[in-house]
Structure 1
Amino acid sequence: MATMATTVHLLIVLHSLVAAAVAQPPVARPGCRGTCGDITVPYPFGIGAGCYRDDDIPGFQLECDDSGPSPPRLTVFGYRLAALSMEDGEITTYLSARRSCYNSMGGFVDGNGGSTTDMNLSGTAHLFSSTENQLVALGCPTLGYFVDEYGFYVSGCVSVCQQSSEHTFSCTGVGCCQSAIPSEVNFFYPQQSNNPNPNNSVAFTNDTTPCHYVFLVETQWFDSESVYLNDRNDDFEVPVVLDWAVRNVDNCSTASQMADFACRSVQSECLDVVNGPGYRCYCSAGYEGNPYLDNGCIDIDECQVEDTCYGDCANTPGNYTCQCPPEKSGDPTVKDGCKPKDKFTSTLRVVTGVGVGVILLGSMCCGTCLALQKSNLIRTKKKFFEHNGGVILQQQMRSYSSSSSTARGATTGGFKIFSAQDLNKATNNFAADRILGRGGHGIVYKGVLPDSSVVAIKKSKMMEEAETKEFTREMLILSQINHRNIVKLLGCCLEVEVPMLVYEYVSNGTLHHYIHGGKGLDAHTSLDTRLRIGAESAEALAYMHTSASPPILHGDIKTANILLDGNLTAKVTDFGASKLAPNDEAEVIATLVQGTCGYLDPEYLMTCKLTDKSDVYSFGVVVLELLTRKKVLSFDGPEQNRSLVSRFVMAMKAGRHDELMDDKVRSEMGPEALEEVTHLLMRCVSMNGEERPGMKEVAERLQGLRRYQRLPWGQASGRDSEQEEEENKRLLGTRRQGDVDYKFKPRDVLHIEGASAYTYSS
């Protein structure tokens, strides 16, 4: 029996140790060293190949020398590390204080200036901390300062002298001075000047010290150790704090779209840093560990944390519950906060029962009315939900999620069905000051969801019942689109009379506003910016045509449906007229032509057949609008000049198409580039859809134009040499044999007058 008891006890202890080991959050990459001496080395830092983040920005590779009898030495760029903090985003290194010693006549005796007293962090993941460090100069008289990599002054201070009997070490300018440093400093080279006063006053000549120092030091360390630095004449090291971050991109918004996004753990968050560009990752509230590793953030078992709960504690993912036992009440988070419940006497129970009965009887009428109203509201919401295809959409979401999970382990990509209450709160009951814009398919509002994320909420126009099934199917397909130049569809609300769609929020308005709105893309905007916006939009449409499954035809491409974010990155939006590519010829004929005057494909208008080449025509008009800054329809001049396409084609036939371009475009675009873009536009706006290029080719040619334009001979003032012709062909490409000589006549171009949104019923 004793042996069995001992065995059981050992098993319990072993189980506890294993559980504790499992609960420990990861630090380094699997198979990599996690410590050097008493310093923990968490990823993205690492020791050895494959153990640190390698994004072409040095600073995460560390070296550990533990080969000798001395304690292990952890270094970065050869500098010894004293501490490394992932939570604070700081590392502490050691630098030698720069020393300069002089004789009684002021002549230089010796010093220690060298690489161990300065530090160059240019192009690395580190910057000197402006909040944790200060510059200090010791000795008198002295001017201590440091310069940047170009030799320009950054920060410094002057230290003067007093008589010995009056001398106190407080580092306020007598024998010692200190100064703050600015942010984003990446270079430290200390300098020192003896006797900075040309007048030789007693403050600079009386009771001088033989040795002077200047160094960058951690403020907290210096405040506690400064008294021991007084009147020194030897060499010593001081700690310096560096701010580190992932700096291969500027911020979280850009980084989250990249494949090497550093925040790998599911339960992690990204925050922009304040000292320079870049970002750092943190575990979400209720989790701990290393957010830079896959599954690196693990749930904190708050019930195991001392002084957290003095009642019945239950751990939950990212949180916990704490309650008093059933026989007690009070505050379970305070020691002895749970007290035994008071026992009711029989009389008190009777009195309480009667009182409760009276209250219930008095409130029954009000409760019944409220219940009826709530029931009616629920029925109304359910009716709208079913009418707008909510049941169909839920079935399709479950079906898609099941098939995707089996095939790829994927989900519906975060697409969500919102309640009307959620969107009312997000838009402050659809207040007028939340309106972002009005379009042909509805009104768009700015909304803020409970998690503080900003979205664009679109109230669509009424749908016909026959459109309901197709609407829900297309919404689910559109929700799967994940492209950096396409506005993401996040969800919808169907329990209202008019369905509402929830999109990601894009902050800088439409391309149409930036071309014609008086700011943004104005006469001074470079050709490169215009070509980049055009190429990004073309890549989005090419993705929809060739990579989406099934392919998607936009159907209403125009500058008003291309949004720009804070970096002027193009994002295609407004799929109100979009169609999924037909599976067979029986589906190609539409009974309703939708589009916008000036951008509408003439072949689509005549045949009612929407194809991918219809989007190509509309996109050609967008590029023409970008390069000319002229409206697609103008009713001020003669009839033949009302359409921008007509003006361009006639100018092309007359050899004067360059005069139609914007002044900035003419001043930057060389003749080769002008010929190439003119040829591309003529193909895009061809009356025959078969003669138009595909969107993938359009995107490639615009990117090639952009790269060519950056070459010295690609500018308007440049001249091609024979050696440069091969580079021109590589960037601009060669004309295909199928390219034709377009012979447009004014009557071949459709001139459509009236409103901007055009609908034709057959």
Structure 2
Amino acid sequence: MSLAKMIVLGLFFFQLLNIRSLGAACLSNCSTIDIKDPFGTDSSCARLGFELTCNQSFQPPKLFLGNTSIEVLDISYSGSTALVRSKVVSTIQSSYNDSWSGFPTNGPYSISITQNKFVAVGCGTLAQLSSLQQPQQVISACASICVDQTSTSTDGSCTGIGCCKSSIPTSLTSFEFQLTSLNQMSLSGKNYSNKAFIAQETWLNTNVQAMESQYTNVTDDNSVVVPVLLDWKIDNLSCAKANRKSDYACSSNSVCVDYNNSTGYQCKCLDGYDGNPYMKDGCQDIIECNQPNKYPCDGTCVNSQGSYTCICQNGKRSSNCTTSNGKELIPLAGVLIIVGVGIFVCLLSLPIAIIMLMYKLKARRLRKLKEKFFKQNRGFLLEQLISSNKDIAERMKIFNLEELEKATNNFDQTRIVGRGGHGTVYKGILSDQRVVAIKKSKIKLQREIDEFINEVVILSQINHRNVVKLYGCCLETEVPLLVYEFISNGALSNHLHANFSRSLPWQDRMRIALETARALAYLHTAASISVFHRDIKTANILLDDSLTAKLSDFGASRSVPINQTGITTVIQGTYGYVDPEYYYTGRLTEKSDVYSFGVILVELLTREMPVSQGRFPDGGNLAANFMMVMQDNRLFEILDPQVVEEGRKSEIKAISALAEACLNLKGEERPTMKQVEMELENLLGLRKRSKKRSGHLSTPQRLVENDGILRITSIEGSSSSSEYMTRQFSLEEEFLVESFPR
């Protein structure tokens, strides 16, 4: 064989080897999924970022995005979408975080915000979804709760009972999941777990019941294949710039569409064409005449490129055909008359139509904005909470913005009863004639919305005469509005620390202390769930017209199962009132509230601020100085002169000893709030019995209004504590110190 023939034969085999190698790498399908432009199973036949991997080790083979573990279930070339297997996050813990970031870096894929839902399945779980780039920014959330102790099954609606869903407002490529228990008892035994995932909405609507039945009582996350729809786009160029490049992806009979503010583009077949717009000649003419159900024709159908013509038969007229034997069905003169009349009517109605259109657009924008704020403020979670409990539904409601605007005369300036750096409190009158206080905050932070939810959840389950009543809330504004019962006499701190020589009478101080202790004892032991307030202070004790104490501000409170004695949490509270043991260990118990109550007893005895210079030459903490004075037996040196004048020495000493016990640095050695309540009841009972035996009953008193100021006056008309005024104080502290910024 000659050298020339050997060279030719070698080149032939080399070319054949390349062809076989190329054919093996660039597959046209993987199992049942067709692989076409711009995708490919090798970089030589795929656009950058569109590489796929067909794993032959599975039977049948499975297709994956690039070198990731994300399985591809289907690809739509005409819609520029891909269906992939979603990640399912599962846990039996009370708090759990996980993430999903398996998409190719700087790749063309992002989760579709219009075709997917964020879903949670479980019993008493709050599921939150946030961006990995901004983990503190929650973009979607929903709550799945249980309604009884027999079953967690639902009717497949996924509206909050056993299953919930929420929209995804932002298109991202990586997510963080957070599952938090709502302290509901697991109803399905130790194998029960809470789950969260993102799912295609159309799949969810048809498969939710089967998905719930398999996900409720199992821990196998692979029991159901959950699909999620991805959008994909070409490059990061706009259509105008991409059209000038040599690697422009759109083929003939297709059009370029900018994706997400021109951060890439997609190709769509023109009307009348269908197919893959990314392949050469991929958009093929639709033969409309072969599809009469989709393209109706009452005459003779004639197909054309990108369209079709329907010719009416002789003597017939129809909206689905145009002409018959080349003659116009309507005379030209008639057409001109109809067109002229139409133009005239349009010119007359155009201004009215423009005004109506602007009004509708404005109303539509306002409605969309309200819907956005309602979702942002966890409106669906609160709706589920209220609807699932008849008692809660009777006590509170979710108000719409129009109701509160009417109640406050559109938030008129004359209705303001308190104003501060964090917001404004308005006095309002509801349609049922209830007088309410409406708190409207200025600042919007995610922590404040979380505290708002916490306060609503706790107050909705509490019904006690010494706890401020929450009538409801409004979620249609950027920052939620809270609607409370109107408490006219402000906070206890205003009464104690006003610049007057006399304050509340000693007997009223003892009664207020007892009422506050009753509220706290109820929260700790008698409520359906144990509640640790975590921010007990005189600014959070409100007084009504009869000076009855009302405990408020549950934004920082924590609910705890009855069988638990404490929880470890982030330190929160007000300096001067915070339990030192809680401050140093981070463990919150009911004894933390007992310490704060002890500080309030000292305030009632001394009229000193918790942290101030006051009568103490060394300044500093009121509680610490009080303990030192008690040890040195110098109690009466720091007491409020009014207390010494009006109180009995024995009861003053008894309450001082009770305060000292509450302020014990060791929480386990402090009394419970129930014990404190009983001790105060005994003291007040002894005082009443002693007065009856001596025959000297206290002079009956009432509140008399003079020039808009309430004064405590005896029935006979003599003024008692004439310098003491009760309605001169702003309601600003009364409400603004509550669940929002502290």
Same fold (TM over 0.5): no
TM-score (norm 2): 0.44
Q: Choose between structure 1 and 2 for higher RCO, CA contacts under 8 A separated by at least 6 residues.
A: 2
